[in-house]
A = this chain, B = another copy of it.
């Protein structure tokens, strides 16, 4: 039921914005909070929630904490989402969508 936690965590707009900023690569809290309409502690709290949900991972680099996305945390949510295309009646359509989606992955 980890996809439920991923959904709840990614539901918040500012937290999702923080998460999306990590899509281009790992960043420090300082850089993540820059430009956001909330304070830096708020970003820290969001990162804490993201980490507890397994969506990001953290590493220390001197005095900075570098955060990066953890794709394993997203995998279960993606599988759950795909389960709505699992109808036997739409098997043909499902296969077409899936092969189209695999373009550009891995």
Could you tell me which A residues sit within 8 Å of B by CB distance?
A: 4, 7-8, 10-11, 13, 16, 23-26, 59-60, 66, 68-69, 71, 74, 77-79, 81-89, 92-93, 96, 100-101, 104-106
What is the copy number of this chain in the assembly? 2
Given the complex of chains A and B, what is the CA–CA distance between A80 and B23 in angstroms?
11
Residue from the list B60, B68, B79, B105 in contact with A85, Cβ < 8 A: B105
Closest residue on chain B to residue A81 by CB atoms = B78
Lowest 10 A-B CB distances belong to which pairs? A25-B92, A11-B11, A8-B11, A85-B105, A7-B11, A78-B81, A7-B10, A26-B96, A23-B84, A74-B84
Q: Which of A71, A74, A100 counts the most chain B CB atoms within 10 A?
A: A71
- Can you sample 8 A-B contacts with CB below 8 Å? A7-B7, A10-B11, A26-B96, A68-B93, A71-B84, A74-B81, A81-B81, A85-B105
Alpha-carbon distance A7/B5, docked complex (angstroms): 11
